[in-house]
Amino acid sequence: MTRLAVLVEALGETAVAFLAGANRRATPALWLSGTEPIPELSQLRLDMAYQVWEVLTAEHNPDVARRWLTGTKPRLDHRSPLEGLRAGDLNTAFAAAQAFADGTDG
């Protein structure tokens, strides 16, 4: 399964389209089918989101990881990690995920 497919299965097309900066909810399905190419910036966001997902699910079940990704976080100026990833705050979102996964997020 590709990274994109993992994210779509875990988060749904709407969340994946949002974090990747796509204009339409159906865009991830078009990317998966090869109908449309994934823009470079979207691919960067998807790659980082996948890394965040892997960090979270290594320590928590998928439901906890999903809720963590959609809830607001002080480390991200009270934005959700999905919003942080979309805004390009990739390193901060990844660091916040690591802190949550290892229990050091205070």
Structure confidence at residue 1 as a pLDDT band (50, 70, 90): confident
Model pLDDT for residues 10-53, shown as the tens digit of each residue: 999 999 999 999 999 999 999 999 999 999 999 999 999 999 99
- Average pLDDT, rounded, for the chain: 94
**Domain tally for the chain?**
1
How would you write the chain as a 3-class SS string? Answer: CCHHHHHHHHHCHHHHHHHHCCCCCCHHHHHHHCCCCCCHHHHHHHHHHHHHHHHHHHHCCHHHHHHHHHCCEHHHCCECHHHHHHHCCHHHHHHHHHHHHHCCCC
pLDDT at 106 over 80: no
Q: What's the pLDDT at 84?
A: 94
pTM of the model: 0.92
> Which structural domain range is residue 34 located in?
3-102
